[in-house]
Amino acid sequence: MYETTYHRAGSVEEAVKLMGEADGGKFVAGGQTLIPTMKQRLAAPDSLIDLRHIADLKGISVDGANVRIGAGTTHYDVANSADLKAVCPGLCSLASHIGDPQVRHMGTIGGSISNNDPAADYPSAMLALGATIHTSKRDIAADDFFTGMFETALDEDEIVTAVSFTAPDACAYSKFPNPASRYAMAGVFVAKGGNGVRVGVTGAGNDGVYRWSDAEAALSSDFSAGALDGLSVDAGDMMEDLHGTADYRANLVKVMAKRAVASAG
Amino acid sequence: MGIEGIGARVARKEDKRFITGKGRYTDDMVVPGMKHAAFVRSPHAHATIKGIDTAAAASMPGVIAVLTGDELANDGIGSLICGWMIHSKDGSPMNMGDWRPLAQSKVRYVGDAVAIVVADTKGQARDAAEAVNVTYEELPAVTEAVDALKDGAPLIHDNAPGNLIYDWEIGDGAAADAAIASAAHVTRMQIVNNRLVPNAMEPRATLGVYDEAEDHYTCWTTSQNPHVARLVMSAFYSVAPENKLRVIAPDVGGGFGSKIYIYPEEIVCLWASKKSGVPVKWVADRTESFLTDAHGRDHVTTVELAFDANNRMTGLKVDTIANLGAYMSLFSSSVPTYLYATLLSGQYTIPAIHCNVRTVYTNTAPVDAYRGAGRPEATYLLERTVETAARELGVSPAELRRTNFIREFPYQTPVIMNYDAGDYEASLDAAMAAADWSGFAARKAEAESRGKKRGIGMSCYIEACGIAPSQAVGSLGAGVGLWESAEVRVNAVGTVEILTGSHSHGQGHETTFAQLVADRFGVPIDSVSVVHGDTDKVQMGMGTYGSRSGAVGMSAIVKALDKVEVKAKAIAAHLLEADESDIVIENGQVKVAGTDKALGWHEVALNAYTAHNLPAGMEPGLKEGAFYDPSNFTFPAGCYVCEVEVDPDTGKTEIVQFVAADDFGNIINPMIVEGQVHGGIGQGIGQALLEGTAYDRETGQLLTASYMDYTMPRADDVPSYQVSHTVTACPSNPLGIKGCGEAGAIGSPPAVMNAITDAIGNNNLTMPATPQKVWAAMRA
């Protein structure tokens, strides 16, 4: 790791101010991506601005079907929230399968969606749930937030503060993990709610997380795994790497989508 | 056997410090004035070095020295060597290319060391290493052995035309050809044995200390064989004469072969310590481990196996191309030859065998022995081929094996080995019974109803441990002898120290070796200490690899114990006024048989040292040493049965049952042996399902250089194993023991692959059988 200067922010405002003063600073929350990257000397921020001690960023509130999750909430807390489980168990299940226990106790939902790793789990759920991403500057619809692999609508000095969404009637997430990293090779979040059926796909697309509109249309008229039988995923839109060809990923997207629908009931 | 003697499941004495984080590893060693090293490594797979500018790095904060290969050469430090001479079939010696500890004119793989930086902190050393400006002129690279042999391939070493190291053969080619020509059936296959990265939990590390006042060097290092390290560093690298070089291998966190060899770093750190005047420590990070630890396997082979009309094997012909990487590592030449082709008879009577092996340079990390070393390659080749033959011939895999089993011992194979003892049918029967082989069809049907494809596969392996005798291996090209040494020191109070040339890096020697003493003298194992891993403490030894610590290392201890016992009995007979032949040692008492006349073990020991009343002419003391040179290898064998379920939608394989029936001869500590089998099978499953090493074929970059891309087996990738033992005692060593350290890794890969190919009905599948590959094979 190269030398860096650590700052602990006590509020969102202070964090933004510290970022303004830094020359190439980075916000760090759980640090589950940034810290290993720095250890490998692949990132060298001159300042690290730690968001973990900002109380306002933590916590889950559920009011009827209205859900709000603070950006600093750990995967462990999302996975184990009884309130959330009662209205949106699919998201709890997703969080419970991120990384390993150590990762889940450190990593945060805000960090995950801000990083927008193309194989991260949460972005697919944000799209499928039609979530709103609240930041230090504004509210952004999930559809507008994720703009490509590791790319988001965030400005450099903008901090995700929370996500909110209306709990769906039914939802589930199914992923096929990369055998080595256990990130998603294909992860599909399916949600059926007031605004129809939405399907978010992560780990597979060659431009990062996306919505599978053909599946959404098919499931809107028939919410069953069988409704997807006739669909195919275009391998030309898929990522290809050491672990999975585009053809294989296209297959996995469909298989995981069917499993998610079956498990959402 | 007693509660702590031979055959007892004694808990491992060493585990307290390991599981409480109190082990003492090389990186835990701190000496006054110690500084930290970082190596400048080649980012290119193949390039000419046009210049090295160290000025900027040398002026950075905390930097003490920046040293290059030219300075190392000027100080007379020698090149790394391969210690086993192989001659090609035309009689010419192998083409060993020059391996400088710090590259001078050329780099040959990504990670090749070019310079060393010594600084106050590790971070400063790394920062400065990045500031060393090396000018490279890139050359085309080649990573696959088959490609490296082609016309026009980039030439890696000038003295190895066509990148060929040797073209070697064993066996009778004409007889094998004749058998194939007249066969009723011939099974032909192309077999790839995938390259593996060893991934010991503890990365390699070294601490080099030069003491100017004494003109003496100390090298702490992660070694499986510190004495061999000292020998090689003295005799070939001219770092220091042996009497002025102490090598210490303290606790070592796993080796699997990768820590047998002498690498550039320990040589360079010792030299750099003298050059810079400070002790120099280097600890590999995980990326360096991936890039520079000697890899394993990497064979491409064609095989033909001939059968007569009665399904009896009549001939085997094998043609192998083995990738040895950019340089010849210490024992690399022996792995695809005498540790591989000599095992090709397997458990079967095959009258004619011929094997041709070409070893090849490529722009990849050096390849050397990795758990099993040649025997996994032989076993995978043979057991995949036999299973395929059974399918082609329409007979059950068990019956085809039974038809061809060797049943008379000793058995001389056509490829050097003389099998001394075994009962292959017994392990086959035990494994099939434990696996409920006959109930498979019902389990398959039940799996089908859940949408899963279930398959079953077996593997009958033989391997050779305790490579020996020294005279024989010498005649085959080995640069060292393969005996082992031991010294047993009985202290004046009756406690015992065993000094052994074996080295424990996970094997549990501190427990098993102590059990030998407990068994012999009836003393508790807590009063027995095992001393190893320090050339200043232990007499010359050959270290631990090739599952040799039991069969060879413990045999040396037994020889020394024999001598101690004779002397102790003589002392007791003298004191008890009895005949030596009437003295017995039982439960810590030295007694006159059939009487109540007895001395405590500690009393005999004390008498040996007070020397007030010893037999006339006897020297005081109770301490004996022995060297043991085996008369033959030992031949562990067994049968493994694997059952899998494949998800047809994703291609993911789940191992639902794994049965091992091994014959390791007599067993000292069954719990430790089972642990070895579990670990070995875990590594074998890793090779079969998960671990694939990939280099970019154009650039030579290692694509699987972290755990994000290299799949190590995790707890949920492996099943609970059913392990059992059959016993035929090894006739050539005093304990009748064989070796158990590598069997799991040797026997399991073909069992897994035979099961998967059975499940999916497509035999065309290579390791690792990742979900993607299995899915594609189901559609092929």
| pLDDT on residue B468 | 86
- Name the closest residue on chain A to residue B712, using Cα atoms: A180
Determine whether the interchain pair A40/B770 forms a contact, defined as Cβ–Cβ distance below 8 Å: no
> Vertex B388, ends B382 and B393: CA angle to 5°?
120
Distance CA B228, CA B542 (A): 6
Tens digits of per-residue pLDDT, B462-480? 999 988 899 999 999 999 9
The token pair that represents B108 in the structure block: 């040959």
Asked whether B723 and B674 are in contact (CB, 8 A), the reply is: yes
Domain boundaries defined on chain B: 31-139+201-254+259-292, 299-468+632-779, 483-628
Question: Chain B: residue nearest A246 by CA?
Answer: B772
CA A219 to chain centre: 22
List the single best residue of B285, B708, B714, B779 to mutate versus A (max A Cβ within 10 A): B708
The answer, yes or no, to whether residue B1 has pLDDT greater than 60, is: no
Other C-beta atoms lying within 10 Å of the C-beta of residue B363: 28
Could you tell me which residues of chain B have a Cβ less than 8 Å from any Cβ in chain A?
A: 123, 126-127, 130, 287, 649-652, 690, 694, 703-704, 707-712, 770-772, 775-776
Q: With a threshold of 0.85, tell me whether the complex ipTM lies above it.
A: yes
pLDDT string in tens for chain A (265-residue length): 899 999 999 999 999 999 999 999 999 999 999 999 999 999 999 999 999 999 999 999 999 999 999 999 999 999 999 999 999 999 999 999 999 999 999 999 999 999 999 999 999 999 999 999 999 999 999 999 999 999 999 999 999 999 999 999 999 999 999 999 999 999 999 999 987 999 999 999 999 999 999 999 999 999 999 999 999 999 999 999 999 999 999 999 999 999 999 999 7
Contact A132, A141 (CB under 8 A): yes
Asked if residues A143 and A105 have their Cβ atoms less than 8 Å apart, the reply is no
The mean pLDDT value for B98-127 works out to 98
In one letter, which amino acid is B387? Answer: E
CA angle B287/B260/B39 to nearest 5° reads: 35
CATH number of this structure's domain A57-264: 3.30.465.10
Position B34 scores a pLDDT of 98
pLDDT digits (tens, 9 = 90+) for B516-551: 999 999 999 999 999 999 999 999 999 999 999 999
Contact list, A255 vs chain B (CB under 8 Å): 649-650
Domains B31-139+201-254+259-292 and B299-468+632-779 share a fold: no
Tokens of A1: 């790791």
Average the pLDDT over B595-613 and give the result: 97
Give the three-class secondary structure for B117.
strand
Q: How far is B561 from chain A (nearest CA, A)?
A: 49
- Proportion of chain B above pLDDT 70, given as a percent: 100
Pick the CATH number of B483-628 from 3.40.190.10, 3.30.1490.20, 3.30.365.10, 3.40.50.300: 3.30.365.10
* pLDDT value of position A194: 85
Give me the residue label for tokens 């790497």. Answer: A241
3-state SS, residue B688: helix
Distance CA B337, CA B330 (A): 14
Cβ separation of B694 and A3 shorter than 8 Å? Answer: no
Closest CA to A67 of A166, A160, A142, A135: A166
Give the pLDDT band (50/70/90) at residue B286. very high
Smallest CA–CA distance from B124 into chain A, residue: A2
Q: How far apart are CA B284 and CA B289, in angstroms?
A: 6
CATH of A5-50, one of 3.40.50.2300, 2.40.50.140, 3.30.43.10, 3.90.320.10: 3.30.43.10
Degrees to nearest 5, angle at CA B502 with B497 and B508: 75
Average pLDDT for residues B487-493, to the nearest whole number? 98
**Spatial separation of the C-alpha atoms in residues A244 and A239, rounded to whole Å:** 8
The reply to whether residue B775 touches residue A180, judged by beta carbons under 8 angstroms, is no
Pure H helices in A88-186? 89-96, 101-106, 109-115, 122-128, 142-145
Q: Which residues of B touch A3 (CB under 8 A)?
A: 123
At residue A195, the pLDDT reads 78
**List of chain A residues whose C-beta atoms are within 8 Å of the C-beta of residue B284:** none
**Percentage of residues in chain B with pLDDT exceeding 90?**
98
| pLDDT per position as a tens digit, B393-429 | 999 999 999 999 999 999 999 999 999 999 999 999 9
Residues of B in contact with A247 (CB under 8 A): 776
Q: Which fold has domain B31-139+201-254+259-292?
A: Aldehyde Oxidoreductase; domain 3 (3.90.1170)
CA–chain centroid gap for B618, Å, is 43
| Torsion angle defined by CA atoms of residues B597, B600, B606 and B612, in that order, rounded to the nearest 10 degrees | -10
Q: Which amino acid is at A213?
A: S
Could B771 and A179 be called an inter-chain contact, meaning their C-beta atoms sit closer than 8 Å? yes
* Binary contact (A243, B704; C-beta < 8 A): no
B299-468+632-779 maps to which CATH number?
A: 3.30.365.10
Which residue from B minimizes the CA distance to A252? B650
Sign of CA dihedral B461, B462, B467, B472: negative
Domain range summary for chain A, segments of one domain joined by +: 5-50, 57-264
- Nearest-5° Cα angle at B660, B658 to B662: 170
Please name the residue that has the structure tokens 């672990």: A243
Return left, alpha or beta for B91; rule: phi > 0 is left, psi -120 to 50 is alpha, else beta: left
pLDDT on residue B95: 98
Confirm or reject contact between A187 and chain B (CB < 8 A): no
Question: Distance from B250 to chain A by nearest Cα, in Å?
Answer: 28
**CB within 8 Å of chain B, chain A residues 225-254:** 242-245, 247-248, 251-252
- Tell me which of B650, B697, B716 to substitute to probe the interface with A (most A C-beta atoms closer than 10 Å): B650
Task: Please report residues of A whose CB lies closer than 8 A to that of B287.
Answer: 40
Q: At a CB cut-off of 8 Å and minimum separation 6, what does B707 contact?
A: A180, A181, B286
pLDDT of residue A265: 75
